[in-house]
Amino acid sequence: MSAIDEGKMTDEHRRILVVDDEPQITRVLRTTLSAQGYDIRVANDGEMALELMKNWTPHVVITDLAMPNLDGVGLCRQVRQMSQVPIIVLSVRGQDRAKVEALDAGADDYVTKPFSMNELLARIRAQLRRTPAAEQQPSAITAGDFSIDLDARSVKVAGNEVHLTPKEFDLLVYLARRPGKVVTHRTLLAAIWGPNSVEQPEYLRVFVGQLRKKIEIDPSSPKYLLTEPWVGYRFESGL
Amino acid sequence: MSAIDEGKMTDEHRRILVVDDEPQITRVLRTTLSAQGYDIRVANDGEMALELMKNWTPHVVITDLAMPNLDGVGLCRQVRQMSQVPIIVLSVRGQDRAKVEALDAGADDYVTKPFSMNELLARIRAQLRRTPAAEQQPSAITAGDFSIDLDARSVKVAGNEVHLTPKEFDLLVYLARRPGKVVTHRTLLAAIWGPNSVEQPEYLRVFVGQLRKKIEIDPSSPKYLLTEPWVGYRFESGL
DNA sequence: GCGATCTTTACGAACATTTTATGGAACCTT
DNA sequence: AAGGTTCCATAAAATGTTCGTAAAGATCGC
């Protein structure tokens, strides 16, 4: 009944990942947040959260600090390797030190338990408010002979459709969204394979090779998918 | 003496607007934040803050709630009409309702007084962290015939593009970011090769030579990449 | 079990960096 | 002013990484 609900309610279909090992917490969050119209998924620890995020990218992450396997601070660090998604830490620990550590590890907000649900909801809204740009992504990318349909996950080169595997597609899209910009190996690996794969540049070599075989006219002298030696790769939208 | 740590100054030159009518608060914030390297301006109420922001756009706004003329919530609404700048509300009022109202009015964070300065600093860092790169650093450096595109990692001299290796690129960028300023051998070596390579000036000679071959019209009488004998090198942006 | 996809391995070629060598210029001492 | 020393520029050899490619194992879904 707060006085401030003027029809700005575009919160539907926003995905929230809740990470906590205490069932009481996850249960109440799941029901409350679901009632607000959010899509909720729950993970019981940091590792599980990372695993989940490979296939399901949330708009906000809410995480506890104390967890088995991978704690909240570690989770923040790992997530920041691959994503800018807002992270709200929810913890019983209220000391400066804990807050500073979490915030500097990549968290965007820190709420101490016990917390007011109204406040948490408002903080979620505040976080969601400034990520509309990410959601307004075009459903298609075109560049030169290229057209990438993001909804259908299909790619056409000079008229004819080519079939790409999921990872090939993700890789191409990630680069094609940043035309002309060099993306480092680390960034690319973290974004496509997850933050644990940051030290496996072989993946990139293999998949870039595969991609070039499919989308380049002459794979041995690529026009679109270019190597920036010792640094990374970049996508050029046809010269 | 000790190694010059140029890499750690990302928070410098960030502008923070403090809005509060209590002199004790503004005084302590001004001194503490200034000591951190931020540029601080103070306004005593919301109206004054808006006036100030016409000519001086901050990277973060920190505001009290209770103020004459225009209070914190009103300030949030007005600011949101024209800017996405992060707003941190600082207030003695700790009730849900106040928090929800402020956050829904456009605030990004809410801290209750009395507050821990360490926590506030961390929250400021968290807010600054996600302001888009466009605001932080130019993605291009231009100087005379030069243009360096940091995203594309490409360098153009008088129209034609030259390809630089990673170390060459890093070296040039480091110097070009400080035009006219002499950078000592030690500093350069520490910055590009790491603090363990401070005693290997041969690297510099070799790489400066290669850079000159690529970017100077007459490498034997350089125009841009100049030697400061016995001290270091400096970049001049074309006389 | 089968096909598609992903992961892992291996190796020659291409490339960047490090090391070494040489000649010349600038500085210091006497 | 001569000799010795340190620094600078350049070239080129030696070393070490990375890249592209192919192909063999591992994994997943049906």
Chain segment B58-96, per-residue pLDDT in tens: 999 999 999 999 999 999 999 999 999 999 999 999 899
**For residue B141, what pLDDT is reported?**
87
Report the distance separating Cα B81 and Cα B48, nearest Å.
16
Question: Looking at the domain assignment, is residue B1 inside a domain?
Answer: no
Assess whether A99 and A51 both reside in one domain.
Answer: yes
Assess whether A60 and A109 both reside in one domain.
Answer: yes
Assess whether A52 and A129 both reside in one domain.
Answer: yes
Assess whether B110 and B194 both reside in one domain.
Answer: no
Asked if the model's pLDDT at residue B4 lies above 70, the reply is: no
Assess whether B162 and B199 both reside in one domain.
Answer: yes
Nearest nucleotide over every DNA/RNA strand to the B226 CA, judged by C1': D8
Question: Looking at the domain assignment, is residue A3 inside a domain?
Answer: no
Cβ distance of A123 and B101 shorter than 8 Å: no
Cβ distance of B108 and A119 shorter than 8 Å: no
Residue at which a domain ends, from A82, A107, A135: A135
**For residue B237, what pLDDT is reported?**
81
Q: Nearest CA to B224 among B161, B143, B165, B150? A: B143
| pLDDT tier at B7, thresholds 50, 70, 90 | very low
Assess whether B124 and B195 both reside in one domain.
Answer: no
Residue recorded with tokens 């104390």: A66
Residue recorded with tokens 């807050």: A99
**For residue B133, what pLDDT is reported?**
52
- Residue A194 contacts strand D, CB under 7 A: no
Name the residues in A20-39 having a C-beta closer than 7 Å to nucleic acid strand C: none
Asked if the model's pLDDT at residue B208 lies above 60, the reply is: yes
**For residue A133, what pLDDT is reported?**
55
Cβ distance of A119 and B125 shorter than 8 Å: no
**For residue B2, what pLDDT is reported?**
30
| pLDDT tier at A43, thresholds 50, 70, 90 | very high
Q: How far are the Cα atoms of A87, A104, B124, B127 from residue B130, in angstroms, in the given order? A: 12, 12, 11, 6
Please report, rounded to whole angstroms, the spatial distance between the CA atom of protein residue B164 and the C1' atom of nucleotide D11: 19
Task: Give the mean pLDDT of B133-158.
Answer: 80
Q: Which residue among B84, B116, B166 sits closest to A130, beta carbon to beta carbon?
A: B84
Question: Looking at the domain assignment, is residue A215 inside a domain?
Answer: yes
The total domain count for chain A is 2
Residue at which a domain ends, from B99, B132, B165: B132
Task: Give the mean pLDDT of A4-32.
Answer: 77
Amino acid at site A169: F
Question: Are B151 and B173 in contact, with CB atoms under 8 Å apart?
Answer: no
Question: Looking at the domain assignment, is residue B24 inside a domain?
Answer: yes
Please report, rounded to whole angstroms, the spatial distance between the CA atom of protein residue B87 and the C1' atom of nucleotide D17: 47
Q: Which residue among A107, A122, A228 sits closest to B153, beta carbon to beta carbon?
A: A228
Per-residue pLDDT tens for B99-125?
999 999 999 999 999 999 999 999 999
Q: Which helix or strand (DSSP H or E) is residue A20 part of?
A: none
Task: Give the mean pLDDT of B155-160.
Answer: 88
Cβ distance of A2 and B101 shorter than 8 Å: yes
Question: Looking at the domain assignment, is residue A5 inside a domain?
Answer: no
DSSP A120-156: HHHHHHHHHHT-HHHHT--SEEEETTEEEETTTTEEE
- Residue A165 contacts strand C, CB under 7 A: yes
- Residue A167 contacts strand C, CB under 7 A: yes
Q: Which helix or strand (DSSP H or E) is residue B102 part of?
A: helix B96-104
Assess whether A59 and A130 both reside in one domain.
Answer: yes
Query: Does residue B108 belong to the interface with chain A, where contact is any CB pair within 8 Å?
Result: yes
Cβ distance of A104 and B122 shorter than 8 Å: yes
Assess whether A76 and A169 both reside in one domain.
Answer: no
Which one of A10, A73, A108 would you mutate to disrupt binding with B, by most B Cβ within 10 Å of its Cβ?
Answer: A108
Average pLDDT of chain A is 89
| pLDDT tier at A151, thresholds 50, 70, 90 | confident
Asked if the model's pLDDT at residue B137 lies above 90, the reply is: no
Enumerate residues 15 to 54 of chain A having a beta carbon within 8 A of any beta carbon in chain B: none
Question: Looking at the domain assignment, is residue B156 inside a domain?
Answer: yes
Assess whether A53 and A112 both reside in one domain.
Answer: yes
**For residue B3, what pLDDT is reported?**
28
| pLDDT tier at A6, thresholds 50, 70, 90 | very low
Asked if the model's pLDDT at residue B127 lies above 50, the reply is: yes
Q: Which helix or strand (DSSP H or E) is residue A60 part of?
A: strand A60-64
Report the distance separating Cα B12 and Cα B125, nearest Å.
12
Please report, rounded to whole angstroms, the spatial distance between the CA atom of protein residue B218 and the C1' atom of nucleotide C30: 39
Which residues of A fall within a CB distance of 8 Å from B84? 130
User: In chain B, where do the E strands start and end?
Assistant: 15-19, 39-43, 60-64, 87-91, 109-112, 140-143, 146-149, 154-157, 160-162, 183-184, 225-228, 232-235
Query: Does residue A229 belong to the interface with chain B, where contact is any CB pair within 8 Å?
Result: yes
Q: Under 8 Å CB-to-CB from A164, ≥6 apart: which residues? A: A153, A155, A172, A211, A214
Assess whether A145 and A125 both reside in one domain.
Answer: no
Asked if the model's pLDDT at residue B191 lies above 80, the reply is: yes
Assess whether A112 and A178 both reside in one domain.
Answer: no
Which residues of A fall within a CB distance of 8 Å from B126? 103-104, 107-109
pTM score over 0.75: yes
Task: Give the mean pLDDT of A134-158.
Answer: 82
Question: Looking at the domain assignment, is residue B60 inside a domain?
Answer: yes
Which residues of B fall within a CB distance of 8 Å from A118? 96-97, 99-100
Cβ distance of B103 and A109 shorter than 8 Å: no
Cβ distance of B165 and A230 shorter than 8 Å: yes
Enumerate residues 67 to 96 of chain A having a beta carbon within 8 A of any beta carbon in chain B: 84, 96
Assess whether B126 and B156 both reside in one domain.
Answer: no
Sign of dihedral through CA atoms B211, B215, B217, B221?
negative
- Residue A209 contacts strand D, CB under 7 A: yes
> Which residue does chain B place closest to A182, by CA atoms?
B152
- The region of weakest confidence among A95-109, A156-170, A209-223, B129-143 is B129-143
Residue at which a domain ends, from B132, B150, B178: B132
Distance from the B40 Cα atom to the nearest Cα atom in chain A, whole angstroms: 22
**Long-range pairs for B207-210: beta carbons < 8 A, 24 or more residues apart:** B207/B167, B207/B168, B207/B171, B208/B171, B208/B233, B210/B168
Average pLDDT of chain B is 89
Report the distance separating Cα A34 and Cα A32, nearest Å.
5
Query: What CATH code is carried by the domain that includes residue A83?
Result: 3.40.50.2300
Residue A164: give the domain boundaries.
140-235
Q: Nearest CA to B98 among A9, A99, A122, A6? A: A122
Length of chain B: 239
- The region of weakest confidence among A2-11, A189-198, B98-107 is A2-11
Name the residues in B182-221 having a C-beta closer than 7 Å to nucleic acid strand D: 185, 201-202, 205-206, 208-209, 212-213, 219-220
**For residue A239, what pLDDT is reported?**
63
Asked if the model's pLDDT at residue B9 lies above 50, the reply is: no
Question: Are B113 and B84 in contact, with CB atoms under 8 Å apart?
Answer: no
Query: What CATH code is carried by the domain that includes residue B219?
Result: 1.10.10.10
Question: Looking at the domain assignment, is residue A10 inside a domain?
Answer: no
- Residue A230 contacts strand D, CB under 7 A: yes
Sign of dihedral through CA atoms A158, B152, A206, A148?
negative
